[in-house]
Structures are given as structure tokens and as C-alpha cells.
């Protein structure tokens, strides 16, 4: 039985990828920060089907031992400080976890088994202050946050290990991707969560920043499938993973509240204090390379994804009441 190894396996992307590989009959193992917190963050149906272990991301020797013991055919790295509201809170820790730890994984692969294939979850935040739209693999990077800068360091190290050491190492330049497994620090889940609370009479309004801010939002399950496809190619390369379409926060609100039979205009208020500095040029990905070389394209549309999130959120509240 082939083994795959996923760092940050209990996060949104890690859990979707774990489900994907289990369905194909793989042995799936992965790391978490704290095993005691797993029941609160991991889908119950996965708990007894994957092998979990705690890992200090700065412990290089531990990763070397893990790879030696498991000998996975593929490694996917999702262990990272997230973006969203936490992007500026701990730049030092972010640099260690999002940047240095990735180099340590690559070095462990180089020492243990250079045939292990590796995929790094990179980010559209690396583009930052872009001068062209849409953004492709050829667009220059100019990050404007600690999160984007640390992701860019890791992205560069992936390229160095691929070219200098011959590792099959790829970066997936992921644009925003969502699901009902997102944390409440992300605007998609925040809107859905509060819309349900308003529907149930537990809240009366939702304060947001710029409703006209736009993002290229896709479904997380589609994006992890793209990462898997990247490691099935004859040669390693980096790919932008995006929908190529943008939607506004206003549209997000309209879809989520409409799913619940509500008019968002009665409940959503713009809060000037929550406004984030807008991009001069729109962040939207060009997924043509992934479509052409991987034969990949998103299967879940934006409206369908938001409706799925609303339905699942409502189920959560109903379970809590019971």
C-alpha cells in the first residue's frame, strides 16, 4: 500500500486531500500541532482512518525520522500560519513556520529519499502589489504582507531544490479557496456563520469592510485535486490554481442570505474601521497552464460553494440545539 504524508492534515485543505487519497486506497499519515485538539478540528469520519502525529515544525530531525519511517511516495505541505486576519500578528513566527520549516522538509526529503515527490501550498499573496492582471506563473512577485513574503521564501526554496538537487518539488500558487471547513477568520465563513445566526435570531446585523472588494474564490476540494495532479506529471513545475473569475463580498452576502430567505441589505453594515487597503490592480489568477497541462478546471461554481457552506452551517446549529 502506497503512503502519502500531509503536514497540517487537520486544516481545510489537508482534510480534503486526506479524503481524496483514502478513496483511492492509500495509507494516509499526517502531522498536527496538538493531538488533543484533533476531535474539534477534524471531520469525525477521518479520525480513525488516518495516522496522526504531533510535529514541531522547527524540529528538523523529527521530519527526517518521519520520512524514514513512513517512506511516503508523496508529501504535501499545508502546515503554515494562515492568511486572513492573522497576517501581521507574528511575522517572526510566520517566517519560521511558513518559510524555514519548508526548507527543512525539502532537506529531509533530499537526505532520506530523493524520489519522494513534494508539493508546497504557495499563495496568491506572493503577488502582492501586482502591475498586471490576471496573474500567471510568469507574473513578478511583490508581496505586501509578512504572510506573502514568507510564502515567497518557501516558493523560492522549492525552485532551488528542484533545479539544484533534482527533487520533484512543485509549488501550487493557490488563490482564495473556501469551504465549510474554513475558520471564522476568513470572510466567506464569517458571512455564512453570521447569516445563519441572524436567520435563527441569534444576531441582528453583520459588520464588514468594503463590500465591493473582490476575490478569485474557488472550492478547496477542487484545489487539492489540482495539487495531486501536479505530482502525477512527468516533470515538476509550478502552477497557478484559480478560477480566473472574481466575485465581490457584496455578491457573497447576497448569495448566502438569499439561501436563507433573507435580504442581506437589511442586515449587513459597512464598517470603515474594517476596510483593508485595496489592491491597485485586481488579484485574479490565470489558470490556463493548469488547464492545459493538468487537464484541470474547477468543478464547483462560486454560488454552489456558498450555498453548500450555508447548508452545512445550518446543520451545525441544528446539531448544537439537539
All structural domains of the chain: 3-177+217-241 (3.40.50.720), 183-216+245-283+292-321 (3.90.25.10)
Residue 165, Cα to own-chain centre: how many angstroms?
27
Contact 159, 168 (CB under 8 A): no
> What one-character DSSP code corresponds to residue 174?
E
**What amino acid positions are annotated as catalytic residues?**
123, 125, 147
Mean pLDDT (the chain) is 93
pLDDT tens profile 35-56: 888 887 888 889 889 999 998 8
My answer on whether omega of the bond before 134 falls inside 30° of 0, hence cis, is yes
The pTM assigned to this predicted structure is 0.94
pLDDT computed for residue 207 by the predictor: 95
pLDDT tens profile 145-186: 999 999 999 999 999 999 999 999 999 999 999 999 998 989
pLDDT computed for residue 322 by the predictor: 46
Sheet holding 239-241, edge to edge: 51-54, 27-32, 3-7, 74-77, 117-123, 169-174, 239-241
Q: What's the rounded mean pLDDT across residues 28-34?
A: 92
Q: Taking 50 as the threshold, does the pLDDT of residue 226 lie above it?
A: yes
What are the distances in angstroms from CA 246 to CA 123, 214, 221? 16, 6, 18
CA-CA-CA-CA torsion sign (240, 186, 22, 27): positive
Amino acid at each position: 500500500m502506497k503512503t502519502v504524508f500531509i503536514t497540517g492534515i487537520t486544516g481545510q485543505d489537508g482534510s480534503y486531500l486526506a479524503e481524496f487519497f483514502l478513496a483511492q486506497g492509500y495509507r494516509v499519515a499526517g502531522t498536527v500541532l496538538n493531538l488533543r485538539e484533533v476531535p474539534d478540528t477534524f471531520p469525525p469520519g477521518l479520525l480513525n482512518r488516518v495516522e496522526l502525529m504531533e510535529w514541531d515544525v522547527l524540529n528538523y530531525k523529527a521530519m527526517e525520522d518521519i520520512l524514514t519511517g513512513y517512506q511516503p511516495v508523496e508529501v504535501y505541505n499545508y502546515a503554515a500560519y494562515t492568511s486572513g486576519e492573522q497576517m501581521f500578528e507574528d511575522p517572526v513566527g510566520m517566517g519560521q513556520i511558513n518559510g524555514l520549516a519548508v526548507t527543512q522538509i525539502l532537506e529531509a526529503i533530499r537526505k532520506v529519499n530523493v524520489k519522494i515527490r513534494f508539493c508546497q501550498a504557495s499563495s496568491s499573496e506572493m503577488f502582492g502589489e501586482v502591475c498586471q492582471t490576471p496573474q500567471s506563473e510568469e507574473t513578478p512577485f511583490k508581496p505586501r504582507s509578512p504572510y506573502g513574503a514568507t510564502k515567497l521564501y518557501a516558493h523560492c526554496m522549492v525552485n532551488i531544490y528542484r533545479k539544484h538537487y533534482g527533487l520533484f518539488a512543485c509549488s501550487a500558487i493557490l488563490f482564495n479557496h473556501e469551504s465549510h471547513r474554513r475558520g471564522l477568520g476568513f470572510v466567506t465563513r464569517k458571512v455564512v456563520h453570521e447569516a445563519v445566526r441572524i436567520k435563527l435570531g441569534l444576531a441582528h446585523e453583520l459588520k464588514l469592510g468594503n463590500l465591493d472588494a473582490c476575490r478569485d474564490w474557488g472550492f478547496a476540494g477542487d484545489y487539492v485535486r489540482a495539487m495531486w495532479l501536479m505530482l502525477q506529471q512527468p516533470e515538476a513545475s509550478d502552477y497557478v490554481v484559480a478560477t480566473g473569475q472574481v466575485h465581490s463580498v457584496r455578491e457573497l452576502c447576497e448569495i448566502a442570505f438569499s439561501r436563507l430567505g433573507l435580504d442581506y441589505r437589511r442586515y449587513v453594515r459597512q464598517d470603515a474601521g474594517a476596510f483593508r487597503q485595496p489592491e491597485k490592480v485586481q488579484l485574479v489568477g490565470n489558470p490556463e497552464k493548469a488547464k492545459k497541462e493538468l487537464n484541470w478546471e474547477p468543478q464547483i461554481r462560486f454560488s454552489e460553494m456558498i450555498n453548500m457552506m450555508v447548508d452545512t452551517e445550518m446543520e451545525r446549529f441544528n446539531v448544537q440545539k439537539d
